Amino acid sequence: MASKLHVRSNSLPNGSHPCSSRVQEQLNNLRNFDVTCTSESVAKGLSMLEDVYFSLESLLNVGSTQKAISDHQSEKCFQEILDGSIKVLDVCGITRDTVMQIKENVRSLHSSLRRRKGDSCIEKSIAKYNSSSKKMRKNVNKLITSLKHLQSKYGILNQHQDLSILSKVIAISMCVFQCLLSFLGGPSKSKAIKWMNKLMQKGEVNSESGNELQLADAALNTLLNEGAKGSQIHASNEQLEALEISIESIESGLENLFRRMIKTRTSLLNILSQ
């Protein structure tokens, strides 16, 4: 199901600096971006957000922006922006670490299935993977809840236009991370597997039936229920391989975004130290 990133938008006044206009345009593009539950959509959202931060760095080099930050640095609204910038950076780091752990779990299970050392070994490997996935989903859903509470503070304040843009960037960042975390957390595993198994029985499973995590979970569940048959192992390996590729794409996007966000945070602190 597609959804849009909902963040309140205020147009900038006429005569805005080109850097401000560019950031605003990119923010609008992100707001209008149709987010689906696929890794491709999530990776695209991360790339678009990275572009926002790249343009934001240029805006932070503009004299009028630096003056606005210096003039308002003691005000509560700017302190909230500064606090928000570190919080979204923390969320990005936590999400990146989570994705890295998922990749390692997938690789380990994939390797075990390829070795085919018997049903009991495969069952243990899948059980270990499922246990890790359950813990991951629990942590992810907690993080989503925290993000929802934080997001309400940003993107809606009537501030100086450059400070307002900073606030909106934080708000849209939280939206993008919510979408990514929703992809990782997904629906409860039992519901997802039940739904996917029905599609499998009807022969209707394809790349549009669910995201890569759901497809892999369903294939593994079928493998457990029907035994380690050659065809089921092959199907599970295919889904795990597709999942690994998609996770690597998201991991790369997160790594690039994380570095860009660090640069933005550093630029903000440098302005304050002048």
pLDDT tens-place string over residues 43-77: 999 999 999 999 999 999 999 889 888 888 888 87
**Over the chain, what is the mean pLDDT?**
82
Residue 2 covered by a domain = no
Burial of 274 (C-beta count, 10 Å sphere; 0-12/13-18/19+):
exposed
Residues 89, 177 contacting (CB under 8 angstroms): no
Residue 8 covered by a domain = no
Cβ count within 10 A of residue 190: 9
| pTM metric for this prediction | 0.83
Residue 148 covered by a domain = yes
Residue 6 covered by a domain = no
**Domain total in the chain:** 1
Residue 87 covered by a domain = yes
pLDDT digit string (tens) for 207-240? 455 688 888 988 888 888 877 677 788 888 899 9
Residues 272, 73 contacting (CB under 8 angstroms): yes
Question: In this structure, what DSSP letter does residue 88 have?
Answer: H
Tell the residue number behind the tokens 């950076």, with chain if given.
89
- Rounded distance, CA 107 to CA 244, Å? 7
In 3D space, the residue among 169, 182, 181, 163 whose CA is nearest the CA of residue 51 turns out to be 169
Residues 184, 139 contacting (CB under 8 angstroms): no
Q: Which residue segment(s) compose the domain that 59 sits in?
A: 19-273
* Polymer length in residues for the chain: 274
What backbone torsions phi and psi does residue 211 show, to the nearest 5 degrees?
-80, 175
- Rounded distance, CA 25 to CA 43, Å? 20
In 3D space, the residue among 141, 172, 155, 151 whose CA is nearest the CA of residue 53 turns out to be 172
Residue 12 covered by a domain = no
Residue 223 covered by a domain = yes
Q: What are residue 35's DSSP bridge partners?
A: 3
Residue 144 covered by a domain = yes
pLDDT for 1 beyond 70: no
